[in-house]
Amino acid sequence: MNPSKGYYSIIQYCPDLMLGEVANVGVLLFCPERGFLKALTNRNNRRIKQIFGSEGLDLTRINTLKKGLEERLSLLGEEIRTVEELQQFISTRANLFHLTTPRPMKVFNPEEDLQSLFQRVFGVPVEKGEAKKNFRDFVGERLLVPELGSKVYQDIKVNVPALDKDMTVPFGYQNGRFNLIIPVQFEAANPEQSVSHACKYTVQGRSLYDNPHPQYGPLQLLIVGKFRANDNETPNRVKRVLDSCQIKNFRNDQLNALTDEIRKTGKDKVSLPVGTNL
């Protein structure tokens, strides 16, 4: 495969621009030809502690900002199409994190090259499962807000009759059907892999839809899907699969529509005893 021209930037923690002291906390890779823009941050804050000390550090805020930056850049994939637009984004940032001026690099496989860049900077590989956890947290931050607090359930244990097995769903809300929300990533380079991944939810979705709960009534699986930037084929194919099995679905860029629906149609929660199965 011929290389494409890409650009990388180092993400740095810089609490005081005047002093200019920084600690590297992540990497960013941008490849306009491939429609790829993604950041990876290091969950280990050891470098920050070594340089700035532990006293007064708000690690919770720092970790939240790291995850927020990753998700922000992911959602901006379709808006940032040139290195000049990336530089404009960098120049408008004004919080604890600073991004270095993008530097050119050859890109063969964007995802693998990003992980290699991460390992080169930090000396350790990217933690497995980190991206998936980030997306779930991102969806949670959008759903678990005060205005929806009376409507959104968390960590709901459900039984799937067709499989005779339990599964735990991170979020849910009631609006005539009890909607069981699962964030799922469909970011494989090959659309067939994402379609196969979607098919894994079809039996669950159909079984939950066809078997009302005696107390909470009809159920419905709801997938919030995250897709690669500039990928129009995969979302359409995944949607057809999910629609065929009565699985409600929203793309990650449609989260506003989902929160609007919950706000307008969601019913206030009823108390669920600990360990209750829906």
**260 pLDDT above the threshold of 60:** yes
Closest Cα to residue 2, out of 101, 107, 88, 87? Answer: 107
Q: Write the DSSP symbol of residue 97.
A: E
The count of other CB atoms within 10 Å of the CB of residue 91 is 10
Specify the pTM: 0.54
Name residues whose C-beta falls within 8 Å of residue 180's C-beta, 6 or more positions apart in sequence. 156, 158, 169, 171, 172, 208, 219, 220, 221, 222, 278
Indicate the range of 59-63, 221-225, 231-235, 260-264 predicted with least confidence.
59-63
The string of pLDDT tens digits covering residues 86-141 is: 999 998 877 789 999 999 999 998 889 999 999 999 988 877 655 445 688 789 88
Average pLDDT across the chain, whole number: 87
Integer Cα distance of 169 and 220 in angstroms: 12
pLDDT in tens, 176-194: 999 999 999 898 878 898 8
Q: Show me where the domains of the chain are located.
A: 4-127, 132-265
Close Cβ partners of 71 (under 8 Å, ≥ 6 residues apart): 134, 135, 138
* pLDDT above 60 for 44: yes
User: pLDDT band at 244, cuts 50/70/90?
Assistant: very high
Tell me the mean pLDDT in the region 48-58: 85
Q: What's the mean pLDDT in 153-157?
A: 87
Q: How far apart are CA 33 and CA 147, in angstroms?
A: 41
| CA atoms of 12 and 96, how far apart (whole Å) | 8
Q: Work out the pLDDT band at 43, boundaries 50, 70, 90.
A: confident
In CATH, what class is 132-265?
alpha beta
Q: Report the alpha-carbon distance of residue 128 to residue 155 in Å, rounded.
A: 22
Residues 6 or more apart whose CB falls under 8 angstroms from that of 80 comprise 30, 37, 86, 89
pLDDT of residue 276: 47
Q: How confident is the model at residue 277 (pLDDT cuts 50, 70, 90)?
A: very low
What confidence score (pLDDT) does residue 129 get?
54
Higher pLDDT, 67 or 107: 107
Which has the minimum average pLDDT: 65-69, 99-103, 234-238?
Answer: 65-69
- Strand partners for 87: none
